[in-house]
Structure 1
Amino acid sequence: MSQFPYSIPSREEILGVLRKSGEPQDIAAIAGALKVGTDHLDGLSRRLNAMERDGQIKPDRTGLYQLANTSSFVEGRVSSHRDGYGFLIPDDGTEDLFLSEKEMQKVLHGDRVQARITGTDRRGRPEGSIVEVIERANTHVIGRLVNENGVWLVAPEDKRLGQDILVQGSPGKAKAGQVVSIEMIEQPTRYSQAVGKVVEVLGEFDDPGMEIEIAVRKYGVPHEFSDTAKKLATRLPSEVRPADLDERVDLRDIPLVTIDGEDARDFDDAVYCEPVKIGRTTGFRLIVAIADVSHYVKPGDGIDTDALQRSTSVYFPRRVIPMLPEKLSNGLCSLNPDVDRLTLVCDAVITSKGVIKAYQFYPAVIHSAARMTYTEVAAILGNTRGPEAGRRPGLVPHLQNLYDVFQVLLKARHERGAIDFETTETYIVCNAVGKIEQILPRTRNEAHRVIEECMLAANVCAADLLERFEHPGVYRVHAAPTKEKLTQLRNFLKQQGLHLGGGDDPTATQYAELLNKVKDRPDAVLLQTMLLRSMQQAVYSPENIGHFGLSYEAYAHFTSPIRRYPDLLTHRSIKAILKGKRYQPTNIDTSVLNTTLSKSARKMQVTDKARGKKKMEGDLAIWESLGIHCSANERRADEASRDVEAWLKCYFIRDKLGEEFTGTISSVTTFGIFVQLDQLFIEGLVHITELGTDYFQYDEARHELRGERSGIRYQMTDRVRVQVSRVDLDARRIDLRLVTESDARGLPKPGRSAEGGAGRTKKPRAAEPKPASAPKKAGKPKRGSTSPSNDKSHARNGARKKR
């Protein structure tokens, strides 16, 4: 809190005046530029003295203030570690700056600051001192209310916020132990603790659905629609009106069907296929009809602003936070059977070799013939004379046509060299109070693959249309692996007697060929994992660099406008092209974008700058901002979903403390091994101290821990037997310990011996790993993405994967 009863301009504001003026200024000129009255000059003078002390400004020979040499100052975002220290992630993409626990007392995770480089720490990392907080990231904090000796505090749920928040006054009706939302009144400083007031009581920690209530607030996921959006939704019609059919192609006589999971609630795509003659050969006409959300959601209106703010629907077990109000997502824009619905159609002609010969887009009205499930369609395709087929006799030929076009598209996919990783997806089965009953692998049948290939074809056509008409849009891009990742991968492959061709620029085909080569090896899972980890994450961008994993020159999301904002943007662009116009999203609420760009999305801009990409200007600037915004919010949704799943898994396994399970090592780090338990599909950590009495060296190239004296190795995909030893709900962490020998190499039973202490590594290791749901190498937070790149939308709660 300021020691003055009036507001003093911040350091950043003062620096801005000096930068803008370009010449030294006296205190009167600075006060005038910042509208500081003469009776407030004492506070401004003290602020200037502090800035001079910290080396931000300096007086010239006449006493006027000027900017100091700024080469030793760095601006960026604070990334906090749960152990108390942190890092400043510079805006200019340079090396991270280490911040000690003392420095981190001034800030919270996510704050933007200016720091001065003060030297290096004992590990040789550049170290800094925070001189000014430019922007505070946390206005509200979720945590548990505690009373310590009569003092009310809130312990943040996000462990990266390493400080308790002092409650101002009384907590009201909130009780100790309850989860509350606290509004920040005073941010932390070097001299004082953060202070806030309780503004919402969420309930008891283990109330049904509490983990979701915490996650949406913890990650800032908008979960309530604005009053404006609600009012607009109530004014929408309940059914398609005659006026809505103007200038639309009538496809109501075409037996289009929706094919989704059993528990899907919104149906945004319908498909139909028939054989057609292409010259002397037979090809296919594939119709992919997508809900015409853009007909009802206009740029800049209340529903659009809320949708942009969310950017995506968020899927939790037993609950979905939709991008659009329910009247649209489950009503007007859901392609329910036996009712008229407005769509935007991709009507494509595909050759017998899987080549898209021609396509056209047009607005249409459809009348879905049936709402079908993957299980039902797979049963019909497997037995066209079976009971399932008997219930849908009129649709069986059309489903067979869909399967035939899938076969040719799949063949073309293999020929172009698209990468197809085989991974096991799971879904959570919850009981009536929202807790896990079991975790099951999701069975992926032929019907899933049929729909996926149809959606891929439509997305490719959408991207091609944007390219042909040179219309701006947000492509779904997937960059090739970085040189650093390729070097790590090749070092690993070399030790396995394998080689990935292509030098610094391997193709997707070369990846696919290597995957096919190793698929029958006993270490195939390990090799696939390493290949997957070498790849980048797919993002949205107006710069079309192609999609590496799918081996497409151009790819855009078009098929899910109910749950993805980029798809809605693509629809608007396509409609503009059809009318001979250009769509420029200038009338959207840019304040929504600015909020995102000032926080998590800034990291993407830094990554772009580091690789030499210039910031876009003019008409493309808004599209670049939209791409960054949507990509950041996609990750936000994934993080919130993972957090909820991790909490549920911890809650589920609390009843299994002391029980033993077999499992597979899924990740190896400097501080231990992560093990995925068989049948439960839950990961836990065997800490390095549980591995025995040896010193363990971490081999990054081989992804293994090796005992220095014994030669014992723990490597990814090794089989082990473990016991559940501890569960920490707050940290989302499950601790395990080895209890038996592992695999044929005879790994010893862990524990302490009479000779020495517990197992350890000679490398310094992070004292506290990340939660069990996200095993990654501990240590210094890194800029950019190191996540596996698989452009499959992991739709939870039974919604299917689509790209």
Structure 2
Amino acid sequence: MSKRKSPFKDPFAAREAEKYENPIPSREYILELLDMADAPVTHEQMCTMLKLTGEDQIEALRRRLIAMARDGQLISNRRDAYVRLDKIDVVRGRVQGHRDGYGFVIPADGGEDIYLHNRQMRKVFDGDEVVVRLSGEQYRGKEEGAIIEVLTRNTTQLAGRFFNEEGVQFVRPENPRITQDIMIPFGAYGGATHGQIVVAEITQQPDKNRLPTGRVIQVLGDHMAPGMEIELAIQAHGIPSVWPEAVIAEAARLSHEVEEKDKLHRVDVRHLPFVTIDGEDARDFDDAVLCERRKGGWRLYVAIADVSHYVQVESALDVEARARGNSVYFPDYVVPMLPEALSNGLCSLNPHVDRLCMICEMNISNAGRITGYQFYEGVMHSHARLTYTKVGEILTGEGDTRAALREEYKTVVPQLELLHKLYECLRAARDERGAIDFETVETRIQFNEERKIERIVPIKRNDAHKLIEECMLCANVCAATFIEKHNLIGLFRVHEGPTETKLANLRAYLSELGLGLAGGDKPTPGDYQQLLQMIQGRSDGHLIQTVMLRSLRQAMYQVENHGHFGLGYEAYTHFTSPIRRYPDLLVHRAIRSVIRSTEPTTHVRRVETAKPIPRKFIYPYTAAEMLVFGEQCSRTERRADEATRDVVSWLKCEYLRDQVGAIYDGHVSAVTSFGLFVELNELYVEGLIHITSLPHDYYRFEPAQQRLVGERTRKVFGLGDGLVVRVVRVDLDNRKIDFELESEAAIRRPKSQVKPKVAKRDAKVAAKKAAKPATKTAAVDKTAAVNKTSTKKTTGTKTAGTKAAGKKTNAAAPEKKASAKKSATKLAATNTPATKTVAAKATAAKTKTVDAPRGAKGSVAAAPKKAGAKKATAVKAPAPKATSAKKTATSASKTASEVSHGRKNAKAASKAAPATVQPSPSRATKGKTVTRAAAPAAKTSVAKPKATK
């Protein structure tokens, strides 16, 4: 059994003896024994090797072996014999499903994703932990694998729609990454009726031979009930939203106000005029700021809510906050990380009350550089609760409004002016540093009294947003530097530069526009920023910016620091939002562990009466634990992004559902091999024009140039092209909106870009046309003139309420019968069943997070990832018909806020002052007069936001 003699003694026996009354061999020792064995070892054989005879010890070893297998250290075969996982050619990872039935394994060690065929995905759910063996085959450049063991089943219940069809009962999961229906045995449907939304508990996990089974444990309500989209997203993405009893009890034991004993042993800064600056509807205030002029520069104070004082390590509050990872900000609804008693009460830096805080005090030079900093525990008193709108008006406004506000807040106006001057210096330093500064449009959703979308309005950023952003960036940088300097095991916010493939695609796209990106194989943030400055003022500037943004990687939390590419920092972390982000709470604990120690350092300020606290009570984490926390927090951040994106997509689909047949102006926001994604200019809603709906031609997708090119007509559809589109289909269940091209405003490719064979062919066609008789041309011109005249005489209109079948309202015009017939045929085709496109769904599956210093709550999702085919593909476009493909990904503007926008934009993403969305003007299209659809009229009342669930 053994290659050599077993080790005589467990080197970690003393550690195990401290932890357990009946100590068992350590994991390290078990791994060493298995490494020496020449074959897999059973539990019984292991007991013999270790000379374990006691019943308790034998049972404890069995449990340890199971735990090691669950954690991916071991794997067992069919006869329950164990072997080290790292000694066989397998990969451990997490399953990520796809809406088309196949999936991937995301390796735990960070390697390349492994493709799972539909047959393999029948065995598991999205999110399960598995071990796969590589098959040696490849699928679209990815290794294909086969599941040999499921380590952890992570789906125990799910939300979906209940169906009862001819006596067969099942639940269709709302999560698009889970494609198996859950069979519901007779009598286990919990009173649900056909079509209702339910929560089902899984009683039998899936395997290759049978579908999973379950039972209905909760009926959420009818499919279209108001607010159901949020409840569905919460359930589908597994977002914890119900507080455990232990958490409720622990929060109830806390006082409503700061106790006097807690104010002791802290630096008292209540006399200093700290202010908070947030959105109009914000209810939790993480941070307050203060600025003083000093010789050679400024002294900046950033006070952050001291959550670590109230949320103790491994308490019920701590465990639940870690499971949630971050607050989730839906439009008009919040699922908080901490109970409201803390998030909106005891921890929130509310005005005119005492609050405990962690302060970062910084010295900043006139050049905008941080020359020194200190962290300390403090007690503060906010002197004013200000909003971005008010501060922006006070600083840069004009007229009576500005004068009135300056009078109302005259005690803090000097403070605001100092902060504004500091911001100008910090902004100059940011430009010198070369941080990437994306400027994109963010939007808010406003609701009416029935919680239907009333309007979608853009968010306008002012200097107040940017001022707070720069202050938070400074504090976060100091926190990251502190962690490094004191050799603490902590989480950094890491954003690495672009990959070789993405960089090559970006350069190819830029070369088509006569542009270039400096920096060679390793461009710097400054090179990106230089290009952004070059494209300012260009009509296609925002599209170029979108492509640049998509070339960047996703930001995440890691133990190893690799810098932050987008912000241009060598070290960066998140410190300023511990109420809503768990990584920030961990960083606070790391800093506090040094403040409450005796370690000599100049970067903390201690109060003599504050006694040292052993680190094991404040920050007892190992590198392995912190690595797990980083992965967990990155995952919950993506979970929140996906859930909010699902809700917004659902609401937008509901918004346009009554507008089928309406016509809008839009622009191409993404190009793929299967069609064009178009964003409506005034509604900020995105839908798909499938390639089969484009004018008759073979269309070649050129990924580097991001365009579709007609083989015969040479028509070009590319990023940023302005199009007029008709809404032809809205699929609420799948969050898809389909458009049809109404006007063919495509652009021909310049002759310099035409391939030699194509150019030769085009020359022959041109010569043949030139040789035709002039009389025919004249006849065509005469016909066109007649058609133009008859168009002006036509009075029939087509309104937004016209059905997608497109009946002609002006049937009395005889000269337009042919056109009407053609139009009716074309629109009738939109009622045919939509065809699904794998690529359409693939692009919707991934999002990108860059970073938000104090910005959009947690992370944000980028514009959809474009299909990365290396070779151009030609696709035949038959007669137009509707498609079902709809990309449900957030626009790049939201991603860009992580680099350049303020901290609270996403928290207030659904709140905004009323603004009017103007409908597009009427336009005559293809010889028929069409009345464009106006956005629904605004209601006088807007639903008040709920704070927490």
**Same fold (TM > 0.5):** yes
Please give the secondary structure, in 2, of the residue aligned with 1:684. Answer: strand
Contact 2:161 2:174 (8 Å CA) reproduced: yes
Structure 2 partner of 1:42: none
Map 1:279-298; keep pairs closer than 5 Å.
Answer: 283-298=297-312
Larger radius of gyration: 2
Is 1:83 the counterpart of 2:100 in the alignment? yes
Residue 634 of structure 2 is aligned with which of 631, 636, 644?
631
Superposed CA RMSD: 3.6
2-structure distance, mates of 1:697, 1:71: 45
Structure 2 partner of 1:798: 908
Code of the aligned partner of 2:38: E
Please give the secondary structure, in 1, of the residue aligned with 2:422. Answer: helix
- Greater CA deviation, 545-554 or 722-731? 545-554
Structure 1 partner of 2:771: none
Code of the aligned partner of 1:621: A
Q: Deviations over 1:204-228 (max 9, x none)?
A: 1111211111111111111112211
Contact 2:34 2:41 (8 Å CA) reproduced: no
Residue 777 of structure 1 is aligned with which of 836, 842, 866?
866
- Greater CA deviation, 423-432 or 470-479? 470-479
TM-score (norm 1): 0.82
Residue 107 of structure 1 is aligned with which of 104, 113, 124?
124
Please give the secondary structure, in 1, of the residue aligned with 2:378. Answer: strand
Quote how far apart the aligned CAs of 1:555 are: 1.6
Is 1:643 the counterpart of 2:646 in the alignment? yes
Contact 2:278 2:904 (8 Å CA) reproduced: no
Residue 315 of structure 2 is aligned with which of 301, 314, 319?
301
Structure 2 partner of 1:11: none
Structure 1 partner of 2:839: 766
Quote how far apart the aligned CAs of 1:416 are: 1.0
1-structure distance, mates of 2:566, 2:135: 43
Q: Is the alpha carbon distance of 1:640 and 1:27 closer, same or farther for their aligned partners in structure 2, counting shifts above 3 Å?
A: closer
Structure 2 partner of 1:381: 395
Quote how far apart the aligned CAs of 1:692 are: 2.2
Contact 1:692 1:752 (8 Å CA) reproduced: no
Contact 1:109 1:160 (8 Å CA) reproduced: yes
Structure 2 partner of 1:22: 37
Please give the secondary structure, in 1, of the residue aligned with 2:169. Answer: strand
Structure 2 partner of 1:268: 286
Residue 554 of structure 2 is aligned with which of 537, 559, 573?
537
1-structure distance, mates of 2:578, 2:43: 56
Please give the secondary structure, in 2, of the residue aligned with 1:394. Answer: coil
Quote how far apart the aligned CAs of 1:542 are: 2.3
Is 1:665 the counterpart of 2:775 in the alignment? no
Residue 420 of structure 1 is aligned with which of 437, 443, 449?
437
Is 1:679 the counterpart of 2:682 in the alignment? yes
Contact 2:173 2:236 (8 Å CA) reproduced: no
Q: Is the alpha carbon distance of 1:771 and 1:652 closer, same or farther for their aligned partners in structure 2, counting shifts above 3 Å?
A: farther
Structure 2 partner of 1:694: 697
Contact 1:80 1:87 (8 Å CA) reproduced: yes
Structure 2 partner of 1:320: 334
Quote how far apart the aligned CAs of 1:777 are: 3.3
Is 1:138 the counterpart of 2:155 in the alignment? yes
1-structure distance, mates of 2:698, 2:634: 42
Is 1:183 the counterpart of 2:201 in the alignment? yes
Is 1:193 the counterpart of 2:207 in the alignment? no
Is 1:222 the counterpart of 2:225 in the alignment? no
Contact 2:590 2:619 (8 Å CA) reproduced: no
2-structure distance, mates of 1:364, 1:94: 44
2-structure distance, mates of 1:94, 1:334: 41
Please give the secondary structure, in 1, of the residue aligned with 2:234. Answer: helix
Q: Deviations over 1:713-768 (max 9, x none)?
A: 11111111111111111111111111112266599x999999xx99xxxxx96375
Q: Is the alpha carbon distance of 1:639 and 1:352 closer, same or farther for their aligned partners in structure 2, counting shifts above 3 Å?
A: same
1-structure distance, mates of 2:143, 2:744: 43
Code of the aligned partner of 1:697: R
Q: Deviations over 1:567-626 (max 9, x none)?
A: 111111112222336899877999xxxxxxxxxxxxxxxxxxxxxxxxxxx932222222
1-structure distance, mates of 2:524, 2:676: 32
Quote how far apart the aligned CAs of 1:286 are: 1.5
Please give the secondary structure, in 1, of the residue aligned with 2:164. Answer: strand
2-structure distance, mates of 1:800, 1:402: 28
2-structure distance, mates of 1:708, 1:129: 41
Quote how far apart the aligned CAs of 1:284 are: 1.6
Is 1:734 the counterpart of 2:737 in the alignment? yes
Is 1:621 the counterpart of 2:635 in the alignment? no
Contact 1:18 1:67 (8 Å CA) reproduced: no
1-structure distance, mates of 2:440, 2:452: 25
Code of the aligned partner of 1:271: V
1-structure distance, mates of 2:125, 2:868: 19
Quote how far apart the aligned CAs of 1:76 are: 4.0
Quote how far apart the aligned CAs of 1:18 are: 11
2-structure distance, mates of 1:680, 1:800: 15
Structure 1 partner of 2:569: 552
Contact 2:197 2:222 (8 Å CA) reproduced: yes
Q: Is the alpha carbon distance of 1:374 and 1:570 closer, same or farther for their aligned partners in structure 2, counting shifts above 3 Å?
A: same
2-structure distance, mates of 1:96, 1:340: 51
Quote how far apart the aligned CAs of 1:129 are: 4.5
1-structure distance, mates of 2:468, 2:316: 33
Quote how far apart the aligned CAs of 1:520 are: 2.6
Map 1:301-700; keep pairs closer than 5 Å.
Answer: 301-383=315-397, 386-580=403-597, 619-700=622-703
Please give the secondary structure, in 1, of the residue aligned with 2:743. Answer: coil
1-structure distance, mates of 2:260, 2:267: 13
Quote how far apart the aligned CAs of 1:645 are: 0.7
Please give the secondary structure, in 1, of the residue aligned with 2:522. Answer: coil
1-structure distance, mates of 2:825, 2:710: 15
Contact 1:671 1:765 (8 Å CA) reproduced: no
1-structure distance, mates of 2:420, 2:540: 33
Quote how far apart the aligned CAs of 1:32 are: 8.7
**5+ unaligned residues in a row in structure 1: which ranges?**
1-15, 36-55, 591-617, 759-763, 781-785
Residue 706 of structure 2 is aligned with which of 697, 703, 708?
703
Quote how far apart the aligned CAs of 1:682 are: 0.6
2-structure distance, mates of 1:563, 1:394: 30
1-structure distance, mates of 2:683, 2:473: 33
Quote how far apart the aligned CAs of 1:141 are: 1.8
Q: Deviations over 1:613-664 (max 9, x none)?
A: xxxxx93222222222111111111111111111111111101111011111
Q: Deviations over 1:652-711 (max 9, x none)?
A: 110111101111111111111111101111100111111122121111111111112222
Map 1:145-184; keep pairs closer than 5 Å.
Answer: 145-170=162-187, 171-184=189-202
Contact 1:305 1:588 (8 Å CA) reproduced: no
Contact 2:440 2:542 (8 Å CA) reproduced: no
1-structure distance, mates of 2:537, 2:905: 30
Quote how far apart the aligned CAs of 1:321 are: 0.7
- Percent identity, aligned pairs only, is 47
Aligned residue pairs, count: 719
- Greater CA deviation, 701-710 or 66-75? 66-75
Is 1:248 the counterpart of 2:263 in the alignment? no
Contact 2:274 2:288 (8 Å CA) reproduced: yes
Code of the aligned partner of 2:535: V
1-structure distance, mates of 2:256, 2:473: 31
Code of the aligned partner of 2:592: K
Quote how far apart the aligned CAs of 1:448 are: 0.6
2-structure distance, mates of 1:300, 1:620: 17
Quote how far apart the aligned CAs of 1:21 are: 7.5
Quote how far apart the aligned CAs of 1:104 are: 3.1
Q: Is the alpha carbon distance of 1:79 and 1:363 closer, same or farther for their aligned partners in structure 2, counting shifts above 3 Å?
A: closer
Q: Is the alpha carbon distance of 1:246 and 1:724 closer, same or farther for their aligned partners in structure 2, counting shifts above 3 Å?
A: same
1-structure distance, mates of 2:84, 2:421: 70
Structure 1 partner of 2:723: 720
